[in-house]
Structure 1
């Protein structure tokens, strides 16, 4: 029934929005799953405003947040067929569509924030963004999504050993699933929108995400512990479907790219401010913030890197990322 509902939505969107280009204005539909309180949503609205300003009103981005058009995966499928023009998704979700994105889900891939942005805003990052074009998904820019850490209801996680036996929600991403299972937990993929109820009812014992997502989703209401193991720095991706991209003329493409780059600068500012504010808020709400033994997580997940090196494409990407700017 859920799949039938999704297909009906796809048909409705296609009928409503597939022909929105005329001599006066081009309108692009952008759907995403985040609530309007989230800093990335605010960055997307900034992107839409910049596109409108750059084009003197000739390019309009209509934003549908809060999973109005479907889950991350569902909206990506709509973007592929051209029923929706753009979306914002996690790089983990993109990995199900474009394999090179998988490397970004490797635990402890980056040496720190500076190394991460040297990769994401450099030649390697552009190679990964462009790799989606083959699958009709053109990546414009990466957005900061901070670092992902575990949060749990009843059992605090202080070392990698504490993950054993816990049912933890992850994205539908093979790297995230493998990571939790390797730690001895039971990885449970589900959509983010279903997670609050799953936590409340004990379907899962916890999840993993960044602080703004924990706050904007109200998951702190049902979880007591936030363990800052910082296992991945998995970025978000601003994506335009190739069906829509190829309909744009050179000026429109330029307006869109300029707006995307400007929105990244703004998004980084919004993200830093949100993380600082949200961590303070979580402490005020009584959530215990744990600084765990990170080395135990790094050691336990090392086999993931070892296995990836055997892949001729991803192994090369992994080596290039690890060696970038290495003194």
Structure 2
């Protein structure tokens, strides 16, 4: 009887162990099935604030999701140009990429609004307005029909005009200056409205074009002087502050929709966290770039009569405000900026 009882008890113990092992294996299998690797590409070097911020996003997402969501980053344009990265995100060949908002205007007219001169009164206002959920929803969801959506934004600086030789004091001084702009009709219209002669060309061609005299000027943030050595050939930097064009982190819509509600929250929270950290990284990068350009490259920094540039571009601003394709987004930004200005006045 004792032997039979012993065998029965042993059988139950063995069965319990087998069930336990089976549950662990099933759990491991489920975890592996749930684990998803997101391929993220961008065109900046690893020392750039954008790459550092995307690394913050990666680490935060992997930590919060406990490994359910993993991110593989390919910097330096390893997987192709900005346009190619957008197209690969559309087809789900990769899942995410960081691009300039200017590169998205051919997919959604909403993004062309960032080329409106003096859309924001200041960088502070821009940062506040872009954090507003209503604003993010309006822009980030505007490309869903194209197979991707926005997840967060990153600072790409305030755009100013720098010249090879001539010092600029007002918009009249831009007359006849061949000024490089990003390829795209709104970028061309922007510089034309400010008084310059727009010359569209890829960013990688700017240094040689300035050096050879193909162009007289370009427009970008201060880091262009140092990271791409434009300060070696352009010796005058002018604070026109005519545009603030953000970078946008986009994601394939199908991949996003496949995530659970919790996974989507982890992803959005990690993205917002990386944007918050990016602001400090960006501000420090600009500070160091300005210091290096001034002390080591001999670049002179100038304040200008901004009111003359605003007056010169008022017709273009009005056209953005009235265009049915951009009117509602313009009114939303204007409303949120006024609310922010009022809140500052109240305090």
Q: TM-score, normalised by structure 1?
A: 0.87
8 Å CA contact retained: 2:123, 2:158: no
> How far apart, CA to CA, are the structure 1 residues paired with 2:211 and 2:99?
25
Post-superposition offset of 1:152: 1.7
The reply on whether 1:97 has 2:107 as its aligned counterpart is yes
> How far apart, CA to CA, are the structure 2 residues paired with 1:207 and 1:132?
29
Q: Within 5 A, what are the aligned runs for 1:281-296?
A: 281-284=292-295, 285-296=297-308
> Mean alpha-carbon deviation: is it higher for 57-66 or for 316-325?
316-325
Post-superposition offset of 1:303: 0.8
Partner residue of 1:16? none
> How far apart, CA to CA, are the structure 1 residues paired with 2:52 and 2:135?
27
The reply on whether 1:137 has 2:139 as its aligned counterpart is no
> How far apart, CA to CA, are the structure 1 residues paired with 2:54 and 2:179?
29
The reply on whether 1:305 has 2:317 as its aligned counterpart is yes
Post-superposition offset of 1:86: 0.9
5+ long unaligned stretches in structure 1? 1-20
8 Å CA contact retained: 1:101, 1:128: yes
The reply on whether 1:177 has 2:185 as its aligned counterpart is no
> How far apart, CA to CA, are the structure 2 residues paired with 1:56 and 1:22?
12
Computing the radius of gyration over CA atoms, which structure comes out larger, 1 or 2?
2
2:39 to 29, 40, 60: 29
Q: Within 5 A, what are the aligned runs for 1:39-188?
A: 39-122=49-132, 123-188=134-199
Query: In structure 2, the residue corresponding to 1:203 is in which secondary structure?
Result: coil
Distance 1:254 1:230, change over 3 A: same
Query: In structure 2, the residue corresponding to 1:66 is in which secondary structure?
Result: coil
> How far apart, CA to CA, are the structure 2 residues paired with 1:265 and 1:256?
14
Partner residue of 1:213? 224
8 Å CA contact retained: 2:225, 2:232: no
Post-superposition offset of 1:213: 3.4
Post-superposition offset of 1:313: 4.0
Post-superposition offset of 1:188: 2.3
> Mean alpha-carbon deviation: is it higher for 172-181 or for 314-323?
314-323
RMSD of Structure 2 on Structure 1 (CA): 2.0
> How far apart, CA to CA, are the structure 2 residues paired with 1:69 and 1:172?
21
8 Å CA contact retained: 1:71, 1:191: no
Distance 1:276 1:293, change over 3 A: same
Deviation readout 1:185-214 (Å, 9 max, x if unpaired):
232222223333333333322211111233
> How far apart, CA to CA, are the structure 2 residues paired with 1:188 and 1:28?
37
Distance 1:35 1:137, change over 3 A: same
8 Å CA contact retained: 2:51, 2:75: yes
Query: In structure 1, the residue corresponding to 2:33 is in which secondary structure?
Result: coil
> How far apart, CA to CA, are the structure 2 residues paired with 1:80 and 1:281?
39
Partner residue of 2:245? 234
Post-superposition offset of 1:66: 1.9
Q: TM-score, normalised by structure 2?
A: 0.82
8 Å CA contact retained: 2:97, 2:250: yes
Write out the 4+ residue segments of structure 1 that deviate beyond 6 Å after TM superposition: none
Question: How many residues in Structure 1 have an aligned counterpart in Structure 2?
Answer: 307
> How far apart, CA to CA, are the structure 2 residues paired with 1:215 and 1:128?
31
> Mean alpha-carbon deviation: is it higher for 24-33 or for 302-311?
24-33
8 Å CA contact retained: 1:81, 1:243: no
Partner residue of 1:268? 279
Deviation readout 1:149-201 (Å, 9 max, x if unpaired):
01121222221112222222222233221011223323222222333333333
> How far apart, CA to CA, are the structure 2 residues paired with 1:60 and 1:192?
32
